[in-house]
Every structure is written in C-alpha cells, then in structure tokens.
C-alpha cells in the first residue's frame, strides 16, 4: 500500500490490497476500503462507509457524513459504495437516516465535482452526474442515467433507466425511463435515442419505444387510455413494458420508486 505519512487512518479501518491514500486524508474506524482504491488528498471517509474495488475518490470529497435530516438522532446507518466508481473533487455523499439502513451507490459511476447525494438514496450503475448536481434524500436513480450540470432533484423522486436530464433542470416529479427531460420544472422533451443506441438497442426496440412515447406524451390520451392503445396494437417489448409500468405507477399515485433500481 502507498499511504502518505500525513494521512490519518483509524486502526479499526479495513484497507484492502494496493490501496493508495494521499496527503491529509482521514479514514475513520468502522470503514472498509476495497482493493486497488485511491483516496485523494484531504478526503474524509466517515464511519459506516464501505468502498468497492477500484474506486477513486478525489481531493476533498466527504463520504459517509451524518444525514442532513432533522429526524436523525445519531442512529447507526451506512453508506455502501460499489466498485470502479469515480468520485470527483469535493463531492459529498451522506449515509442513511434510519437505524440499520444504507445509502447505496452501484458500480462504474462518475460523480463529478461538487455533486451531492443525500441520505437514503439508491444510485444504480453506469450513471454520469455532472458538476454541482444535487440529489435529495430518498431518491432512486436507475442504471445508465445521465444528469447535466447544476440539476436539483427533489426528495423521493425516481429517475428511470437510460434517461437524460438537461443541465440546470428542476426535477420535482419522477422521470420516465428512456426519455430526455429538461426545464424548470422539467418535462419530457423526447426519447433518449442516442443513449438507447449507445446501450445497443436495436432499431426495432427503439421504434417500439418511439411509438409508445408518442402515445403517452404527444397524444391527447390520458395514461391509462394510451397504455390500452399500446397493448391493443401489439405485444410490448420489454422496454415498452418497463415504460408502461413506470407510467402506471405514477398515474396511480404510488411513484416510480417501487421499481427495482437495478
């Protein structure tokens, strides 16, 4: 291991193989740092935090601070971060607010400088969050989402898989999967065709989603009638079924959060 002599590491911290810790970093006890991780200068990793293999944490990031929640009274909670994440300068991620619960981060995410992830958030994998994005507590961000800079996301919001959120947007409602949303407050602007292509969806799969999108968001039909028309016309693809299920949950008032974030 390559540990700078100015770093402060509690003896109760667990460090894996080939870990690098740069100057003036602080790693508290009750933490787990996986193999091949790099901990940047002035990083603070608080108790209850675990990092998976190959994660890089850059200068000044703070991981596992207590939640910014008035109900929190010091109960034991956790922050679980997966593998091969890139957490850039001065990002902050808070642990959960309830006893025994976890804020969860998946694998291969890029969290750019000054981004914030609040308590009890569930973040999937292969997500890009640009500079100064703020994710409030209890949100779910599904896999392959791309969030532009300076976006604010209200608590308890779900952003569906492979969605794209335009920079400076205000997100106060669930974002349907596979869509592009933008604005203040944000609304659907189209299908995230480029993102679908990057994730190897076939032209037939994309065409089916485009047709479903037009009926759900560009017709005069309400959600239930649009869904009925989609189902009448053909057997929906797996992606169209996921979009339909998401929209029905929103329409019924339960919110997209009930979906599996993975």
Q: Where are the domains of the chain?
A: 2-191, 196-258
Pairing of strands 179-183, 186-191: antiparallel
Residue in 100, 34, 90, 36 with CA at minimum distance from that of residue 63:
90
pTM: predicted TM-score of the whole model, two decimal places: 0.95
**Percent of the chain's residues with pLDDT above 70:** 96
Do domains 2-191 and 196-258 share one topology? The answer is no
Domain 2-191 bears CATH identifier 2.160.10.10: yes
Give the chain's radius of gyration (CA, Å): 20
Please list the active-site residues: 119-120, 137
Query: Over 80: is that where the pLDDT of 260 sits?
Result: no
Which pLDDT band, with edges at 50, 70 and 90, does 251 fall under? confident
The stretch 64-80 carries a mean pLDDT of 97
- Residue 98 DSSP class: S
Say what the alpha-carbon torsion angle 42, 101, 109, 207 is, to the nearest 10 degrees: -160
Exposure class string for 246-261: b at 16+ Cβ within 10 A, else e: bbebbeeeebbeebeb
Query: Over 50: is that where the pLDDT of 67 sits?
Result: yes
- Fold exhibited by the domain 196-258: Udp N-acetylglucosamine O-acyltransferase; Domain 2 (1.20.1180)
The stretch 80-85 carries a mean pLDDT of 98
Q: Using CA atoms, how far apart are residues 244 and 234, in angstroms rounded to an integer?
A: 13
Q: Name the residue with tokens 């944490």.
A: 57
Query: Over 90: is that where the pLDDT of 165 sits?
Result: yes
Query: Over 60: is that where the pLDDT of 96 sits?
Result: yes
**pLDDT on residue 1:** 77
Q: Using CA atoms, how far apart are residues 70 and 62, in angstroms rounded to an integer?
A: 20
The stretch 72-100 carries a mean pLDDT of 98
**pLDDT on residue 253:** 59
Q: Using CA atoms, how far apart are residues 171 and 185, in angstroms rounded to an integer?
A: 6
Calculate the average pLDDT of the chain: 95
**Percent of the chain's residues with pLDDT above 90:** 94
Per residue in 191-233, pLDDT (tens digit) is 999 999 999 999 999 999 999 999 999 999 999 999 999 999 9
Query: Over 50: is that where the pLDDT of 133 sits?
Result: yes
Walk across the sheet containing 158-159 and list its strands: 14-15, 32-33, 49-51, 78-81, 102-105, 122-123, 140-141, 158-159
Which pLDDT band, with edges at 50, 70 and 90, does 261 fall under? very low
């Amino acid at each position: 291991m390559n540990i700078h002599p100015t770093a402060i590491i509690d003896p109760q911290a667990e460090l894996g193989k080939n870990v690098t810790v740069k100057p003036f970093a602080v790693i508290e006890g009750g933490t787990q740092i996986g193999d091949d991780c790099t901990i940047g200068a002035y990083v603070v990793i608080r108790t209850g935090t675990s990092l998976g293999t190959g994660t890089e944490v850059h200068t000044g990031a703070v991981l596992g601070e207590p939640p910014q929640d008035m109900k929190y009274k010091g109960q034991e909670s956790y922050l679980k971060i997966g593998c091969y994440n890139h957490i850039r300068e001065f990002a902050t991620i808070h642990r959960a607010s309830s006893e025994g619960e976890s804020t969860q981060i998946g694998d291969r995410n890029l969290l750019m400088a000054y981004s914030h992830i609040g308590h009890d958030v569930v973040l999937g994998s292969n997500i890009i969050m640009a500079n100064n994005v703020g994710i409030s507590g209890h949100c779910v961000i599904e896999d392959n989402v791309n969030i532009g800079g300076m976006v604010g996301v209200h608590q308890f919001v779900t952003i569906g898989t492979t969605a794209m959120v335009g920079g400076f947007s205000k997100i106060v409602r669930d974002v349907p999967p596979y869509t592009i949303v933008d604005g203040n407050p944000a609304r659907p602007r189209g299908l995230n065709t480029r993102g679908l292509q990057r994730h190897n969806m076939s032209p037939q799969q994309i065409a089916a989603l485009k047709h479903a999108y037009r009926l759900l968001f560009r017709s005069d039909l309400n959600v239930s009638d649009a869904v009925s028309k989609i189902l009448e016309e053909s057997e929906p693809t797996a992606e169209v079924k996921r979009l339909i299920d998401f929209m029905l949950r929103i329409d019924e008032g339960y919110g997209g959060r009930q979906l599996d974030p993975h």
